[in-house]
């Protein structure tokens, strides 16, 4: 059964990638797909890791098919196709600098490699390390924009776009455990 689920997920990702890549005849190097034309296979309230992986895969395919600045603008747009309720795409370079964070645009351009979450975890560093190896999941705590920016537990999936940057998105999984005494503020 797991093999069938994995096969279905692979086919879904390939299909979404082909759709995003614009398998239509056009001029070389010119994409006719705009962010508004993208069909994101994700419900507003997501509670499955498979849907999260599909969402990030779609964003990575979009980033690879478009100019980096255009992709980052799409990921930063709070009303765009890469924001679904409290699920959104974020982007960092491998030095830890924020490239896109739709609900905290003031952090774009800020290096967050040494920032910790409410539990004292270096979550950007952890994400970076996972993304350098291709893709994977990271647990940490973060502000939930759908719940008045309360700190909640979050499971994120991150994926390398190329050797310079990565994308991710996360599912909020509930209230965070009490903060440790030596943790820095999560909003830094």
* CATH entry, 2-175, from 3.30.450.20, 3.30.365.10, 1.10.260.40, 3.90.600.10: 3.30.450.20
Mean pLDDT over 55-67 rounds to 96
Task: Look at residue 175 in the predicted model and tell me its pLDDT.
Answer: 87
159 pLDDT more than 70: yes
In this structure, what is the dihedral angle of CA atoms 41, 43, 45, 47, given to the nearest 10 degrees? Answer: -50
| Helices 2-21 and 49-65, packing angle to 10 deg | 30
Q: Which residue has the higher pLDDT, 104 or 177?
A: 104
Measured between alpha carbons, how far apart are the two ends of the chain, in Å?
A: 44
Span 71-90, pLDDT tens digits: 999 999 999 999 987 789 99
pLDDT in the model for residue 101 = 96
Question: What's the CA gap between 105 and 98, in Å, rounded?
Answer: 9
pLDDT in tens, 11-21: 444 444 434 44
Q: What is the pLDDT of residues 115-147, one digit of tens each?
A: 999 899 999 999 999 999 999 999 999 888 888
H-helix or E-strand spanning residue 84: strand 83-84
- Position 47 pLDDT exceeds 70: no
pLDDT tier for residue 180 given thresholds of 50, 70 and 90: low
Q: Flag whether pLDDT at 9 surpasses 90.
A: no
Least confident of 28-32, 51-55, 100-104, 124-128: 28-32
3-state class (DSSP) for residue 66: coil
pLDDT, the chain, mean: 79
The answer to whether the CB of 143 falls within 8 A of the CB of 73 is no
Domain ranges of the chain: 2-175
Using alpha carbons, list the distances in angstroms from residue 47 to 43, 50, 56, 76.
Answer: 9, 9, 14, 23
């Amino acid at each position: 059964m797991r093999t069938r689920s994995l096969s279905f997920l692979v086919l879904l990702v390939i299909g979404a990638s082909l759709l995003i890549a614009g398998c239509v005849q056009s001029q070389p190097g010119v994409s006719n797909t705009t962010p508004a034309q993208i069909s994101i296979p994700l419900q507003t309230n997501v509670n499955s890791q498979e849907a999260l992986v599909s969402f990030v895969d779609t964003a990575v395919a979009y980033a690879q098919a478009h100019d980096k600045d255009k992709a980052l603008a799409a990921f930063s747009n709070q009303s765009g196709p890469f924001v679904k309720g409290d699920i959104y795409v974020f982007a960092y370079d491998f030095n830890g600098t924020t490239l896109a964070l739709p609900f905290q645009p003031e952090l774009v351009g800020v290096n967050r490699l040494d920032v910790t979450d409410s539990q004292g975890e270096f979550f950007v560093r952890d994400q970076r390390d996972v993304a350098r190896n291709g893709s994977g999941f990271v647990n940490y705590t973060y502000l939930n924009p759908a719940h008045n920016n309360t700190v909640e537990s979050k499971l994120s999936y991150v994926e390398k776009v190329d050797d310079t940057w990565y994308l991710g998105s996360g599912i909020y999984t509930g209230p965070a455990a009490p903060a440790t005494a030596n943790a820095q503020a999560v909003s830094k």
